[in-house]
Amino acid sequence: MEEFKNGFPYERVVVTGGAGFLGRFVVARLQQHGNLNVFAPRRADYDLVNGSDTKRLLTETRPDLVIHLAAVVGGIGANQKQPGRFFYENLMMGAQLIEQSRLHGVKKLVALGTVCAYPKLTATPFREEDLWNGYPEKTNAPYGLAKKMMLVQSQSYRQQYGFNTIFLLPANLYGPGDNFNPETSHVIPALIRKCIEARERGAEFVEAWGTGHASREFLYVADCADGVLRAAASYNESEPVNLGTGSEITISALVQLIGRLTRFGGEVRWQHDKPDGQPRRRLDVSRAFEKFGFQAQMPLEEGLRRTVEWYETRRATSDRKDISPETKTNLQSSPKS
């Protein structure tokens, strides 16, 4: 981690969700710093929804830093099917981990929120001050609100106990190693898979949810890992911080770009009976740069190209079975722009 010229200020680090999409990048970066003891608990061994497992994890690992990335996540469809599970499990993981970290003498906890926590009709660019100006978009409100409760807990624990917890709000993530399961994937892996499979079948069209008019901001996973670690090393304040690029793209334009990168030349048929989700998403990313020098580096088209190449390679080498989120990923660092 070349950016930490004075060394990373912690020695024992627990990364929840460390075997997941973002977590693998964070753990790999930490492991490049040879003096760190890094532990990534697996759910089979520590179910963080269960309070006793959370206590046992912290007792056994004795971390001075906890990076909380574990979450129950999915696209709009998954959020609609399991809103209760998404709310309860995310809420319980966050609340119990923060409380037990305080009780176990953890020096700092980094909590990862979600852009879904912002109100549905937030004016762009989304500023951190806008978080409480309305209710989130209903299709993912249970998930977004459960994650936002970590901000309330973080700020109240700093006020009452002096516990050092920070709260980060990343844009929609994408990149090599993403979840391509059609039942639970987010928009980019879902579209990549649809276009590649349509090309291979010789299909004349693909279907996409909504109208295509909604916009999203996308952050390459390696860039997000960089932001998380910069904040872990040097940001120690109560105010939430956006992590993103500051740029948005409509879903319609995204589909056209993915179609070109996957060499699918067919038609896009929009499913107007399916929801668009939040109308627009674009973050104000100035606070992250001002507070800990984070600036995303990966251009969207190049990041998508790498993601498409990764997925096609994995399909070719795994008999074209579904790609597991546990699959080892290509951990290339992002280029300078």
Q: Which residues are catalytic?
A: 143
Q: Which own/partner pairs from 256-261 qualify as long-range (CB within 8 Å, at least 24 positions apart)?
A: 257/300, 257/301, 257/304, 258/188, 258/191, 258/192, 258/195, 258/304, 258/308, 259/195, 259/206, 261/301, 261/304, 261/305, 261/308
Interior/surface letters 106-135, b for 16+ CB within 10 angstroms, e for the rest: bebbbbbbbbbbbbbebebbbbbeebeeee
- For residue 182, whether the previous peptide bond is cis, meaning omega lies within 30 degrees of 0, is no
Neighbouring-strand partners of residue 283: 126
Dig out the tokens for 206 from the structure: 């693909």
In this structure, are residues 259 and 205 in contact, taking their beta carbons and an 8 Å threshold?
A: no
Quickly count helices (H) and strands (E) in the chain. Answer: 10, 12
Kindly report the number of other CB atoms within 10 A of residue 73's CB atom. Answer: 21
In this structure, are residues 301 and 168 in contact, taking their beta carbons and an 8 Å threshold?
A: no
DSSP per position, 14-51: EEETTTSHHHHHHHHHHHTSTT-EEE---TTT--TTSH
